[in-house]
Amino acid sequence: MHEMSLCESLVDVIEDSARREHFTRVRRVRLEVGRFAGVELSAMRFGFDAVTRGTVAEGAELEILEVPGAAWCFDCCDTVSLDNRLDPCPRCGGVRLQPSGGMEIRIRDMEVV
C-alpha cells in the first residue's frame, strides 16, 4: 500500500510547515489527488489517520479533492478531459494522447491554529 508512504510524506510537509509558519495544530487538510495518480482514496484516508497520530495534524480532517484526468490529443490538437487514462479522445476518437493533468498529489490548503 503506497498510500501509507504518501501519507508519511504528507505529514513531513505539514510538520515542516508548522515549524516554518509557527502553528501548533492542523484542523483540516485539503488534498488534491489526480484521477491518474494511482491512489486508492479510502487507503489514503486510513493512512492519514494512522500516520498523523502524535503530530500537529492528529485529528485533522482530510478532505480529498479529485482532479479530473486530462490529455493532449495529437489528432485533434486539443486538451480533453478523460475518465480513464486509456480512453480514446472524446472529441475525435483518436488514441494518440499524452496525459497532461490528473497525475498530481498536492496540498491545496490547510486550516491551522
Residues tagged in the binding site annotation for Zn(2+): 73, 76, 89, 92
The binding site consists of 2, 73, 76, 89, 92
Range 95-100 contact pairs with CB under 8 angstroms and sequence separation of 24 or more: 97/71, 97/72, 97/73, 98/71, 98/72, 98/74, 99/36, 99/69, 99/70, 99/71, 100/70, 100/71, 100/72
The binding site for Ni(2+) consists of 2
